[in-house]
Structure 1
Amino acid sequence: MSLLINEPPLMALPSLAAELGTADEAIVLQQLHYWLQRSNNVRDGHKWVYNSMNDWLKQFPWIKSRKRLTRYFDDLESRGLVVTGNYNKAAFDKTKWYRIDYDALSVLEKRLGQNDPTSESNRPNGEGQNDPTNTNRLPETTSENNNKHSASHSNAQRVSQLENEFEELWSKYPNKKGKKQAFNHYKAWRKSSTKHTNKYLLDRLDKYLAYCQQNNSWYHPMNGSTWFNGRFDDVLITENVSNKPKKRIYD
């Protein structure tokens, strides 16, 4: 195997590396530009790419430290060349989104006296440029591309996990009416907050079963579709298990 350009290279201008003080940081910025050319994610009038730091690290195999790479991104951001954001749908998803401030880059180029076609002052979204930043192997390690190719598989896995956890509850629930509606309520409740866990519902179900057992002479468990539609938090049932209500609770 030859080590002299026998694979798609990662390149950056020496003048940019000199200005930033490190070739690594210049390559990181160039690589971000490469992905921005191929991104379809437009938010607030700009193209963005999103990636975890661990996935970024895979694109620069000679950088062994996640902390070191994070420092490069932080420095580029502090210089105003890189802008970060969060447009993730899930509140708990902290994966950063990145773009280049091409106006700031243009100012830097003018200061360096550059005439190379890397300025984006007339193309603020980074469109229409054919810079030689090709790396055909990198789509395999970019979370944005991986997400596109594996989204259906990941969704199927999440649904399968929810189904299994729901079945754990459903197998213990005494009145098995309205299973389909119950599962729909369960899915909506689970997805609405990271605090909504199966463990919580199992605890509520144990209390409800105890209530049913203590009052089995007159109380009949509500339909499953009703209980899973928020009735598991019924205070009269779950918090006053030993107190027999004056009236029968209907579905």
Structure 2
Amino acid sequence: MNNSNGLLISEPPLQVIPSLAVALKSSDKAIMLQQIHYWLLRSKNIVDGHRWVFNTVKGWHEQFPWLAEKTVQRYLKDLCDRKLLITANYNKANFDRTKWYRINYDALDKLTYSKGTDSPNGEGLIVPLERDSLTQPIPIDYPETTHKNTNMVKSKNLTTKDYQQEFEKLWEQYPKYRKQGKQRACSSYTHWRKSSKDNTFEKAQEQLKKYLNHIKVQQVPTQFIKAAKTWFANIDDEYDQMPKQVNNNWRPQKSVEKGTDWSKQKFNSGKASVADTGELKDYFANLEKTNGIADSHESERDNR
């Protein structure tokens, strides 16, 4: 079969939702943001309760070879300026200036709400497309319907409402005192479900069950339990399921001040030696005589 010299899809494609390209006014920026989200879902770099990915501009350029390296740098900066990307530096070496990135999903949710879908107030979003975005096609992954990907096709047939209903069941089970960021949590769950055919509702239930067990057996204090918006953004994280080790034999140590054993101290009279009672008497007698103390003692006795 003719593949038009390899220009049609025969390698893993980059994916993007058209509505995201419209919201960002650029298909290229949408592809970049989607690709960062892809790596975040697989990242093991967790700092301050968030997943991060890090890369150089050159490294990002290798993933978007149709763009100039300076263009990649400019688009990343624009996404940061619009608060859609958050950057930090958690490199071990002080001289390493490689940037770490994570997506600000709250800002993204506000940007991409559209009329009749996920918008809580029904307000539509109308934005013009940039001229350069019209020159690039939007690559979309349309999987073939075979026995190997039947589950994926079935999953793609689920609607946003279906994912929201699944989310509500999970939300009910989450600790009530840490139910923060429901809108963001729902968005993270929906992104997670759509990102892989292996990300099923049953898997999410099992992951939540493990986390709740971790809280119980590790006796995690309330203030250290993850906010719901953070947990749903990191569903694949694993947690220790072993009970917390408690040392029942521990007792506070009493502080005892040890007295000085003067019998073992050295007497300094020009030479180091252990003084007995006789030597001490002779030493003080000579000391009094030398300083005239003995005479004063005798005068006092005479006056009496």
- TM superposition score category, shorter chain reference: 0.3 to 0.5
Q: Which has the larger radius of gyration?
A: 2
TM-score (norm 1): 0.47
